[in-house]
Chain A
């Protein structure tokens, strides 16, 4: 499989005076095209710092990051990298620039110098993709958090990127908004084949990923499928992370299986109840 992102011994230190010197230490990861990767970690674990390296917002103190084969430390490559690796942040309010939804979505293609009629078709397309086409003439500040975040995603999609890096996109949203956004991201991954890197501390969001990377104190501690990673419940607890309740109940009952959904959990419990 094609590797879209590769980090080699990525190490990052904030300024020397700061206490939390090593934000990242020798992180080496390959991310394959079309996968849905969840990066888990508690606040301050270094997971957001990691995300910001993927499109060259931060540059490694040591080691290398290659996005689509381009070295992020070469300024010549930045435009190309950012066009391919779109980034959505936590606070939707602080990512929207324009007072009208469609103008905001058009921002990136406008910067890229895309001809007007193509911008129009891109804007209409991506707004449909995130299910916000009815709101294209609305003012962003009148929308709900989940809707604003979907506009932010549309604004990134309008660049037609191959990778979408989401830095805790649901942290400020309520359950309804979270569901809207998660459904949108999954659809993008499945239908458009966009590689998704989701930075989160929500276990149920991570459970739906193809692969989970756990970061603690700037280092990768676990890397595998949700099933593999959640099997280490005790270790995750130690670093301040919880597992989904479907996993927890089975572990409490002394069962070895890992269930990622309510249905799966019930299947296993049925077997358990029947002895």
Chain B
């Protein structure tokens, strides 16, 4: 697995030179490998949303360099544009960006901007619609007539249709009910399994991060606080709670059991993992 996206000493300051000056990301060094599924977590204001806007050159770093496939993406207008297509970014509440008359046309907006042929655009729209579970009938509807969950899928399809090498999703589950969350998460997981696209998921839910990613980056106060596998991250629950993040309830249960003197592994973060452990422990104790 090769390096696909690399950030070198990236810092970003809003409103430099005004009384509202604020450093949103500070000296970030990160490398993402091709095919990875990474979750970036942090509380609101930790800088995670600002950080991801550097991945596709929407924000040029105040200092530092961003590379995609070894190329500095901020060299010229052309490289910046190329980065938009190489690294697709789905914003928070993406359904608010829908504007076209039909779902088909809306999904086609990105591919059309890439200057692709009509046939290719059509192929991509259909493929993207299928990936997010939008049927042919819906493609002809107005996006404004859809339900909230469907709108969000359409918006995600709009980015997927650009067939980016890296897909970044900023809080794609925000505001959805448990079923809606699961559907979106499953959809992303399936897409990753099928296409091996590098996925970067921004979230403040530790549960979702743990379920989906093979690597978690924790942001706090504009910097990277922790970086590792879910197990490694949950082992540092003290740091996580201190930075305003919630560990999954099941992890809290295991931590409390450990405090009560039981020999449990507190880096477990799924019900299945906890179940297995508790059954084994009971076998030992009884």
**What residues on A are CB-neighbors of B225 within 8 Å?**
none
**What residues on B are CB-neighbors of A161 within 8 Å?**
none
CB of B174 to closest CB in A, whole Å: 7
B281 to A, closest residue via Cβ: A273
B43 part of interface (Cβ distance < 8 Å): yes
- Verify B279–A253 contact, CB threshold 8 A: yes
| 9 examples of A-B residue contacts, CB within 8 angstroms | A201-B178, A204-B249, A246-B250, A266-B260, A270-B262, A272-B282, A275-B282, A275-B285, A275-B286
**What residues on B are CB-neighbors of A265 within 8 Å?**
253
- Verify A253–B180 contact, CB threshold 8 A: no
- Verify B249–A273 contact, CB threshold 8 A: no
Interface string of A248-268 (1 = CB under 8 A from B): 110011000000001101100
A91 to B, closest residue via Cβ: B175
A245 part of interface (Cβ distance < 8 Å): yes
List the 6 shortest-distance A-B pairs measured between CB atoms, nearest first. Answer: A240-B179, A245-B249, A275-B286, A201-B177, A42-B177, A174-B44
- Verify B43–A240 contact, CB threshold 8 A: no
In the complex, chain A residues 219-246 whose Cβ is within 8 Å of any chain B Cβ? 240-242, 244-246
CB of B176 to closest CB in A, whole Å: 7
Interface string of A168-182 (1 = CB under 8 A from B): 000110111100000
> Once bound together, how far apart are the Cα atoms of A244 and B248, in whole Å?
10
B228 part of interface (Cβ distance < 8 Å): no
Binds A, one of B71-79, B121-129, B185-193, B270-278: B270-278
Q: Give the B interface residue count (CB, 8 A).
A: 36
Q: In the complex where A175-B245, A176-B44 touch, is A249 in contact with B179 (Cβ < 8 A)?
A: no
A274 part of interface (Cβ distance < 8 Å): yes
**What residues on B are CB-neighbors of A177 within 8 Å?**
44
B262 to A, closest residue via Cβ: A273
Q: In the complex where A249-B253, A262-B252, A269-B257 touch, is A174 in contact with B43 (Cβ < 8 A)?
A: yes
A144 part of interface (Cβ distance < 8 Å): yes
Q: In the complex where A42-B179, A245-B249 touch, is A272 in contact with B43 (Cβ < 8 A)?
A: no
- Verify B244–A269 contact, CB threshold 8 A: no
- Verify B246–A249 contact, CB threshold 8 A: no
- Verify A245–B204 contact, CB threshold 8 A: no
Which A residues contact B (CB, under 8 angstroms)? Answer: 42-44, 144-145, 171-172, 174-177, 201, 203-204, 240-242, 244-246, 248-249, 252-253, 262-263, 265-266, 269-270, 272-275
> Once bound together, how far apart are the Cα atoms of A176 and B178, in whole Å?
19
Chain A at the B interface: SS class: helix
- Verify A248–B278 contact, CB threshold 8 A: no
B204 to A, closest residue via Cβ: A174
A146 to B, closest residue via Cβ: B44
- Verify A171–B175 contact, CB threshold 8 A: yes
**What residues on A are CB-neighbors of B174 within 8 Å?**
172
- Verify B271–A249 contact, CB threshold 8 A: yes
B147 part of interface (Cβ distance < 8 Å): yes
A90 to B, closest residue via Cβ: B175
> Once bound together, how far apart are the Cα atoms of A143 and B216, in whole Å?
29
- Verify A44–B147 contact, CB threshold 8 A: yes
- Verify A266–B177 contact, CB threshold 8 A: no
A145-B44, A275-B286 are known contacts; what are 10 more A-B pairs with Cβ within 8 Å? A175-B244, A244-B249, A245-B250, A246-B249, A252-B271, A253-B279, A263-B256, A269-B253, A272-B282, A273-B282
> Once bound together, how far apart are the Cα atoms of A272 and B248, in whole Å?
21
> Once bound together, how far apart are the Cα atoms of A270 and B205, in whole Å?
28
Interface string of B152-187 (1 = CB under 8 A from A): 000000000000000000000011111110000000
B149 part of interface (Cβ distance < 8 Å): yes
> Once bound together, how far apart are the Cα atoms of A201 and B180, in whole Å?
11
In the complex, chain B residues 43-93 whose Cβ is within 8 Å of any chain A Cβ? 43-45
Q: In the complex where A43-B148, A175-B43 touch, is A253 in contact with B275 (Cβ < 8 A)?
A: yes
> Once bound together, how far apart are the Cα atoms of A176 and B243, in whole Å?
10
CB of A49 to closest CB in B, whole Å: 14
CB of A51 to closest CB in B, whole Å: 15
> Once bound together, how far apart are the Cα atoms of A184 and B204, in whole Å?
22
**What residues on B are CB-neighbors of A240 within 8 Å?**
177-179
- Verify B285–A273 contact, CB threshold 8 A: yes
- Verify A246–B179 contact, CB threshold 8 A: no
**What residues on B are CB-neighbors of A43 within 8 Å?**
147-149, 176-177, 180
In the complex, chain B residues 218-259 whose Cβ is within 8 Å of any chain A Cβ? 244-246, 248-250, 252-253, 256-257
Q: In the complex where A175-B245, A245-B248, A274-B285 touch, is A42 in contact with B178 (Cβ < 8 A)?
A: yes
**What residues on B are CB-neighbors of A246 within 8 Å?**
249-250, 253
> Once bound together, how far apart are the Cα atoms of A203 and B257, in whole Å?
23
B276 to A, closest residue via Cβ: A252
CB of B109 to closest CB in A, whole Å: 26
**What residues on B are CB-neighbors of A176 within 8 Å?**
43-44, 244
Q: In the complex where A252-B275, A272-B278 touch, is A262 in contact with B249 (Cβ < 8 A)?
A: yes
- Verify A249–B250 contact, CB threshold 8 A: yes
Q: In the complex where A204-B249, A269-B278, A273-B262 touch, is A262 in contact with B177 (Cβ < 8 A)?
A: no
- Verify B274–A249 contact, CB threshold 8 A: yes
